[in-house]
Amino acid sequence: MSGRWCKIPNAVGAIDGTSLQIYRPSVEPQEQYYSGHRQHHAVHTQVVVDNEGIIRFVQSGFLGHMNDAQQFAMMQRIGTDLVFPHDCFLLGDKIYPNRYPIITPFSAGQVARRHGRDRRRCVKFNRYVSSCRIIVEHSIGELKTYRAVSTIWRHPRYLLPSVVVICAGLVCRRKELNLIM
């Protein structure tokens, strides 16, 4: 998978998170599920896609009050030597930590501290990363075409991660069928 993005040849995919709205929990502490950023109760999902836009890894069930970086720290299997090769990277947005296995764009402060040619390189790099990361946004959009994950979740919460994985499988299957035709 490496080499598809010529300016970042070791980037093999992208990672991003999305939130799925749920009803306010009546039995559990509701504060853990409340996302102040989104202004509703939510369960978050992390999606990893390859550089062709095919969903390779989905993990759902993170509490609503957590951000993408906290969820990434809790993710299983990603970042271990057995699953992710040392010379490959994922593209993430600015919320993720800029350390292996994720490459993030330069922050506005980092760009402002640079001068002249270095500043222009940073801005070009950020634009290139954005143009490459759009595939994960499109994949999440395709995932949310299924009503089970795009509307408010009305069923027991323990079922949600399984439904998200099934919908991700359907998205991958639909992409495979579109490539064949």
Provide the pairing of β-strand 40-50 with 11-21. antiparallel
Higher pLDDT pick, 63 / 112? 112
Residue-wise pLDDT for 68-80, tens only, equals: 777 777 775 555 4
Lookup: tokens for 121: 């390189």
At residue 132, φ and ψ (nearest 5 deg) are -80, -40
Domain spans of the chain?
11-180
State the pLDDT at residue 82: 41
Whether 101 shows a pLDDT value over 90: the answer reads no
Task: Compute the radius of gyration of the chain from its Cα atoms.
Answer: 18
State the pLDDT at residue 81: 44
Once rounded to an integer, what is the mean pLDDT over residues 111-128? 93
Q: pTM for the complete prediction?
A: 0.83
